[in-house]
Amino acid sequence: MKTFIIPSKKVFTLFLISLSLLLFSCKGGQNLEIKGIDGPKLYLDQDYMRIDTIFENVEIVGGGRISFALLGLEEYKNSFIEVSPAVPSGTLIAVSISLHDILYGQDGIDQLEPKSLPDGRPLPGIAGGRLPSLAFSVEQFNNMGFYIGKRVFGIWYPLAELNGIGVNNIITARFYSDGKRAGNLSLVGPNAEGTHAGFLLMIDLGDKSKKYLKKYYKRWKRKNR
């Protein structure tokens, strides 16, 4: 016999209020705002797709740049992640994904073990709830992760201080870059043990997106020969 846990009317109402405030405060083309976070912000920088995120309440003395290959993702050998003190304060996590890797370096990614969120909850917005994944830790950010599919690239950012979502709740909204939809952004509340809260950025790498990126990349190469 299955047992279903039904939340109280008060808890359910509070969740609906939180959901409404988060979603309806975001006008078309604007992203969810996360307290203590500036970003994520996605843009094209030369021959890279770059995602910048500043953690305003995290301070580190120094940082560095680590290649994806060193983390274990050899198929993306030209890509890297940088963690460094932000100016004037906070900590910057900058993920730079080579357009060459996106367009021509995906052979072999299926050899990575498919995984869900770090605590086992399904990935929001993904059929089957799992994707080939690579987990790693840098500086003060334990258990970050990349999710690499043929049509999507995801980044998991742990954030214990994420409030207002509720236990086991997940809120997903469209993610925009320069006013155009570029994927999904999900806010993930803590599990029943009070851990594994954070946010998940899923970048669309479907046929339409890759067509645009390939056109941009070829044009950039012609100009920089």
**Tens digit of pLDDT for each residue in 106-123?**
776 777 889 999 999 999
Helix (H) or strand (E) holding 154, with range, is strand 152-158
Beta strand 91-98 with 152-158: parallel, antiparallel or unpaired? unpaired
| Structure tokens that stand for 122 in this block | 């399904």
Letter string b/e over residues 169-208, b meaning 16 or more CB atoms within 10 A of that residue's CB: bbbbbbbbbeeeebbbbbbbbbbeeeebbbbbbbbbbeee
pLDDT of residue 225: 83
What's the pLDDT band for 4 if we cut at 50, 70, 90? very low
Residue 156: CB partners within 8 Å, gap ≥ 6? 117, 118, 143, 144, 145, 146, 147, 198, 199, 200
- Closest residue by Cα to residue 92 from 120, 113, 62: 62
Q: How far is CA 215 from the centre of its chain?
A: 24
pLDDT of residue 209: 95
From 15-24, 45-54, 174-183, the region with the lowest mean pLDDT: 15-24
pLDDT of residue 1: 36
CB–CB of 140/60 below 8 Å? yes
Model-wide pTM > 0.85:
yes
By CB atoms closer than 10 A (0-12, 13-18, 19+), residue 35 is exposed
Is pLDDT at 26 greater than 90 in this prediction?
no
Does 45 or 136 have the greater pLDDT score? Answer: 45
Where are the chain's structural domains? 35-223
